[in-house]
Structure 1
Amino acid sequence: MKRLAVGSPMTPKYIEWLGRRVNDNIPVPSQGDNQLAGKHARVVPSELEVIRQDFERKNSEFEKKIEQIEDEKMNLKLDIDVQKLETEKV
């Protein structure tokens, strides 16, 4: 024969235990897992970091182009000076 429980199954001791209880369904990494995660973790740059890197790359390319143009300008200026000297000699 089955017994019928009368009253609340929530005793003060049970309520205290329930409040301290940890949800066992949530995985918690152990100390060993933390070290492994650090070895295999991949750093994903933020959108701002990607934009900054792209800006620096383009800026570097522009600086190189500016140097090339300045060199060409200097060479053209030298060519013009040489031509002036040649025409003055004649």
Structure 2
Amino acid sequence: MKRLAMGPMTIPEYNNWRVRRINNNIREQSHENSQSMEEYLRVVPSELEIIKQDFERRNAELEKKMA
């Protein structure tokens, strides 16, 4: 993130513009599509985890066939 050195030479109009611009870039959560914190933080299984689960399932099936 780039920062600008602010000093006594900064004009008030520029400072007000900069503050408005920063505040306009901050998103507020809309209540229409809001999710609970648990849903937001829920871990989605990665492709590697899915492959691992598939491998373990197939491995268990093969062990049953061999026993």
Q: TM-score range by the shorter chain?
A: 0.5 to 0.7
Q: How does 1:30-45 map to 2 (within 5 A)?
A: 36-41=35-40, 43-45=43-45
TM-score between the two structures when normalised by the length of structure 2: 0.57
**Structure 2: 5+ residue runs without aligned partners?**
1-9
Secondary structure of 2:62 counterpart: helix
Residues 56-75 of structure 1: CA deviation (Å, up to 9, x unaligned)? 100110111111xxxxxxxx
CA distance in 2: counterparts of 1:37 and 1:27, whole angstroms = 17
Q: Could you tell me which amino acid in structure 2 is paired with residue 38 of structure 1?
A: M
User: What's the offset of the Cα at 1:28?
Assistant: 1.9
Larger radius of gyration: 1
Q: Does 1:23 align with 2:24?
A: yes
More helix by share: 1
- Kindly tell me the number of residue pairs found equivalent between the two proteins: 52
- Residue 55 (structure 1) aligns with: 55
**Structure 1: 5+ residue runs without aligned partners?**
1-10, 68-90
TM-score between the two structures when normalised by the length of structure 1: 0.45
RMSD: 2.7
Provide the identity percentage.
46
